[in-house]
Amino acid sequence: TDLSHIRNFAIIAHIDHGKSTLADRLIETCGGLEKREMRGQVLDSMDIERERGITIKAQTVRLAYKAKDGKDYQFNLMDTPGHVDFAYEVSRSLAACEGSLLVVDATQGVEAQTLANVYQAIDANHEIVPVINKIDLPAADPDRVKQQVEDVIGIDTSDAVNVSGKTGLGIPDLLEAIVTRLPPPKGDATAPTKALLVDSWYDAYLGVVILVRVVDGTLKAGQKVRFMQTGATRDIDRVGMFTPKRVIIDQLNPGEMGFITAGIKDISDTKVGDTITDERRLAAEPLPGFKPSIPVVFCSLFPVDAAQFEHLRDSLGRLALNDSSFHFEAESSAALGFGFRCGFLGLLHMEIIQERLEREFDLDLIATAPSVVYKIHKTDGTIQELYNPADFPDVMKIDHIQEPWIKATIFTPDEYLGPILALCQERRGSQIEMTYAGARAMLVYKLPLNEVVFDFYDRLKSISRGYASFDYTIDSYEEGDLVKLSILVNNDPVDALSMVVHRSQAERRGRHLCERLKELIPKQLFKIAIQAAIGGKVIARETVSAMRKDVTAKCYGGDISRKRKLLDKQKEGKKRMRQFGEVEIPQSAFIAALRMG
Ligand code: GDP
Ligand code: MG
């Protein structure tokens, strides 16, 4: 296809404003799938995405559209994740496109990620078409929402397109707007090949699949290509595209998006953001690529069954290939044995990786409390970056500690403002800005990330009944009065439960953890003491009293099958036990305790 007939665009929006549904309608209208093949959110291919109703990986689809001008156009559409933790996926999708459809829910208006995403699109020099979605709903107020988009974001909405991704209303106008208002890509078919490595993942049938956006030259099967950053060279064995079905094609031309496979097995050969060029005719310079993602939340993952360690390593490798924002390295813990310290972009990212490991790779895992990266300035003048509370140095050697702070943007209906301000205050936040747009307030706060990784997001959602939205960027490192909080079970420190906290929060956290553990640890044959301590000083204490262990006692010998079930259950429980000194703690107690922070 001639460049002027190509449109590459991303769909960006706050979560739940209808990106995936809109993508479905565009695919259906352009005939990418037959009616009988359509199912809701076809691009959300992972099970977890379907169940949670969110898009994690950015997805790309090529569509054919015959416009009113009588010409045939090629659309390359990228659906993007809306959640704050996946901003990186958004940024690389944007680097592969020239324009964005900014979807805003006509019943909700601008939210925190609407703003975050649109700023990224503006940074990527995108042409932006505002799309007001869900106009089929009685509560839709497109005019108010357009006004709000103008007021808060400052982009013109006079030719915004009103649509319903659900009913298909307005979709023909949107397709025309894509043709007439988004720019075509630029590129030179005769120049040396230059293609951006947008994403890569492992496919059981094809092996490692690489998603590319060709800038100059072409990519075809048999061509020897070089990955400019890693220096690896490979022969392309297949070139294809997603419609969203996988289709093998002859070649990819300038401005086009598609995939290649090249017999790649090694993760390190595919670096997202790398430039692919022709080995026989090298490009002079690589493409600018994009900023690597930096993990900000860390936790350790241990297999419940030590024999699964190698399987865990392989599985983490597979996931890292599919998700370049995820990092891991081997570590060992006195209590939990061999495992991996893992870095994530945020809490949801962490939860999803854990869930995928358990589901797709059939692993049983123990995860430690999430932690951020601290900078420990020592008395000898060196700086230690602390990724794991277990490596916390001797306090005598510490001069001061710095922690990461974020700049958070919160949108909320006015009525929840009071409790949200109180929450930010309780989490050591300082207010930078508070403005009103309609009946909604926008708050800008500086907060220590450490206070946010625990349960800030959950609390925010519950006190605002789900109406507040939240987004953040890392802002600075600042000195704080931080201490290591240890949890002791019968005087044995449980390294997996230790954490770094602000001194002012230590008692609250410690007491909370001890109380929770008391509820979670089943009574055993002897008393169990649970303590929280800073250094040698105990700041909270609980006791689990002793009980008899025979769980079948209350069955009165009558119902055999019930008795068998109980015994089986107990056996199942045994597998998931961890030994602490004299005490066995069920894994579920850790997970539950670690969940609440
Ligand atoms: P995403 O998170 O932006 O990808 O949003 P989804 O496409 O997953 O949609 C979120 C929810 O809104 C789903 O329950 C959709 O069925 C619903 N939805 C999406 N578009 C429309 C629409 O135009 N009208 C109505 N009534 N519901 C919609
Ligand atoms: Mg989605």
The CA-based dihedral angle spanning residues 556, 562, 565, 567, taken in that order and rounded to the nearest 10 degrees: 10
Number of other residues whose CB lies within 10 A of the CB of residue 591:
15
Can the peptide bond before residue 244 be classed as cis, meaning omega within 30 degrees of 0? yes
Taking each continuous run of H as one helix and of E as one strand, the counts in the chain are 14, 33
Per-residue pLDDT for the chain (597 aa), expressed as one digit of tens each? Answer: 689 999 999 999 988 899 989 998 998 888 765 665 556 665 655 555 555 555 545 478 899 999 999 999 999 998 776 555 666 667 778 889 999 999 999 999 998 888 888 888 998 899 999 999 999 999 999 999 999 999 888 899 999 999 999 999 999 999 999 999 999 999 999 999 999 998 887 777 777 889 999 999 999 999 999 999 888 899 999 999 888 778 899 999 999 999 999 988 765 678 778 899 999 999 999 888 666 677 888 989 988 888 999 999 999 988 887 676 788 999 887 667 789 999 988 777 888 888 889 888 899 888 887 889 999 999 999 999 998 888 899 999 999 999 999 999 998 999 999 999 999 999 999 999 999 877 788 999 999 999 988 778 878 988 988 888 888 888 899 999 999 999 998 888 887 788 899 999 899 889 988 998 888 887 777 788 899 999 889 999 999 887 755 555 444 444 555 555 555 554 554 444 556 666 677 666 665 665 554
- Among 181, 177, 130, smallest CA distance to 153 is for 130
Atom of ligand 1 nearest to the CA of 164: 23
Burial 118-155 (b: 16+ CB within 10 A, else e): bebbeebebebbbbbbbbeeeebbbeebbebbeebbee
What gap in Å lies between CA 371 and CA 296, rounded to an integer? 8
Which value, to the nearest 10 degrees, does the dihedral of the CA atoms of residues 219, 200, 12, 349 take? -170
Q: Is 76 annotated as a binding residue?
A: no
Ligand nearest to the CA of 81: 2
Q: Would you list the DSSP string of 540-589? A: EEEEEPP----TTGGGTTT-HHHHHHHHHHHHHHHHTEEEETTEEEEHHH
Closest atom of ligand 1 to CA, residue 103:
3
Q: For atom 9 of ligand 1, which residue has the closest CA?
A: 18
The confidence score (pLDDT) of residue 575 equals 47
Question: Two tokens at 310?
Answer: 């190698």
What pLDDT, on the 0 to 100 scale, is given for residue 574? 46
Residues having CB closer than 6 A to ligand 1 are 13, 15-21, 41, 53-55, 82, 133-134, 136-137, 164-166
pLDDT at 47: 58
- Separation of 352 CA from ligand 1 center, angstroms? 21
pLDDT at residue number 553? 47
411: which strand partners?
A: 442, 469
Whole-angstrom distance, CA of residue 211 vs CA of residue 195: 10
How many whole angstroms separate alpha carbon 322 and alpha carbon 349? 13
In the three-class reduction of DSSP (H, G, I as helix; E, B as strand; rest coil), residue 365 is classed as strand
> Which residue's CA is the nearest one to ligand 1's atom 24?
134
Which sign, positive or negative, has the C-alpha torsion 558, 562, 564, 570?
negative
Q: Ligand 2 centre from 431 Cα, in Å? A: 32
Give the ligand whose atoms come closest to the C-alpha of residue 21.
Answer: 1
* CA pair distance 575, 308, nearest whole angstrom: 13
Q: Would you state the structure tokens that stand for residue 353, as one six-digit string?
A: 């990786």
d(CA 435, CA 482): 32
Separation of 463 CA from ligand 1 center, angstroms? 24
pLDDT attached to residue 288:
81
Is residue 135 a known part of a binding site? yes
**What is the C-alpha to C-alpha distance for residues 364 and 380, in angstroms, rounded to an integer?**
42
Closest Cα to atom 25, ligand 1: which residue?
A: 134
The dihedral region occupied by 309, where left means phi > 0, alpha psi between -120 and 50, and beta the remainder, is alpha
CA of residue 83 to ligand 1 center, whole Å: 15
How much is the pLDDT for 328? 93
521 annotated ligand binder: no
- Cβ contact 323:345 at 8 Å: no
Using the structure block, give the residue that is written with the tokens 């075809």.
220
Q: Is 34 exposed, middle or buried (0-12, 13-18, 19+ CB in 10 A)?
A: exposed
Q: Which residues neighbour 573 within 8 Å (Cβ) at sequence distance 6 or greater?
A: 586
Quick one: which ligand is closest to 13's CA? 1
Q: Please state, in angstroms and rounded to a whole number, the distance separating the CA atoms of residues 273 and 244.
A: 23
Q: What is the pLDDT of residue 558?
A: 47
d(CA 254, CA 260): 15
| Residue 556: per-residue pLDDT | 46
pTM value is: 0.72
**Residue 471 alpha carbon to ligand 1 centre in Å:** 20
Nearest CA to ligand 1 atom 11: 16
Give yes or no for a contact between 161 and 173, defined as CB atoms under 8 angstroms apart.
Answer: yes
Residue ranges of alpha helices (H) inside 339-429 are 347-360, 417-426
What's the gap in Å between 41 CA and the centre of ligand 1? 9
Question: In this structure, which ligand is nearest to the CA of 58?
Answer: 2
Residue 117 is assigned to a ligand binding site: no
